[in-house]
Structure 1
């Protein structure tokens, strides 16, 4: 897999700290420590050699011993402060604390998230102890999280997923149309504003997402939910999920303005791009903006979710026609 820019920047920063603590480290030893090749380590050193603080005169640049390098060793002689650990600014700490408080309130409203609540509480306590003034400011900020879902509905959907049972929903769409449908629930999601359930809808004969605040009634049926491999619960997005898109020629700008890992040119002028995505909302918005320029999407679950968003948007305008 091609190395991403973020991965290389992380290694470059770590390399400065590593060499500050280990003057004269052999190139082979450094390469083994970072899990890369000696040629890559030397390329990193050459890049750091022309990096520094504004001014970019010789005394402003990160420097190494040329004599040590001639003997296959790396000795850092000037770090320009890059070997000191970074600290959060007051604004960054305040933003992080407010975000954690939002997660804490969301977890508090959600049954079955005891471990998550404890982890968030621990993170808030440690960050507050380390930031002082920012923690005082964060405590004065009023945080209100809307996750409107009737507790009974949420509990019923959770039970259906845990017991792999089918649900009967009485559901009102964005166009205020009430329908009755049987669904096989797969997973619950929350974006901090609303809960939704990904499911296979037997009425629509396809994958759908249903907002729980639009569910008028949810009944657990004594019927096993069917197997739907394409709708298996998806892996978390925290570390980035690989996404492959096949795009028409008019969407070539995606490869130029998006940090893609791989690009394959197609015979008709289109392209296939592979990228690693950490935010499902971002890639969903990208696909919706591209419209018909998108030829295929992998994983299929992402395509289902984007299609569901598009259908919800169209339903919201149905009354105009």
Structure 2
């Protein structure tokens, strides 16, 4: 698998990342082990998790597999903090105390002495940014974190965090980005490119909708049928999404490929993107995503997909060339 540098850093990651949001929810330890093995055997390195995924169970499962399934030093280990974990005074948010407590908890669950990429899961308007970034500085100075990133930051938030002097460089922003969700192109993508921050798209398959599985019904074994995740999928089950999905299906048929591979290849090669994060329910789904590595979309097909999924730009936004 091709390796790419993450933003303005020297950290290289595979151009497809393995997500673990549902590990401990609808993906158990055995299936997680199978996914991790298939991913790393294909050349994948970037594995992404968070302290709140399945109430910490995703980190615990991943930690148990490091060393057992794959050597720790063969994985670029990424996790996140900020989201509310409990009601205690340090149970969430982006204060210095909460962040450093969250980091210690993640390290315990993962069973490691450091993570390679530590990401702020969301902007916290209640805490001064200087205090938040000072926690990243301390984490890196302690050796517990190698690189710092953010997640779900809008354009002005990313630009402010990346440009505040005297702090650890922000090397990545993990945001939802797919043919169904292109709003980040208005301001997040330009800000990221200006500050040389790498983009890590989450839900690159439109929360599963771009695979085409939801065109006529909701498969009983799908996340759309899951009580925990039905609302997550429903966001992209719209008339606009249906038109885009049909275009992806048409492109896939013309290429002799699958809609999943087409949708992943599209977002993977967008300006500023380093590595889409793919969360698969099982290894069969993951292997199908890994097959996108060999697909490069012809310019005519890429242009057609751009047109059918285009988002509006106006003052003072500037569309990327």
Q: Which has the larger radius of gyration?
A: 1
Between the two structures, name the one with larger relative contact order (CA 8 Å, sep ≥ 6): 2
* TM-score in terms of structure 2 length: 0.27
Choose between structure 1 and 2: higher strand proportion: 1
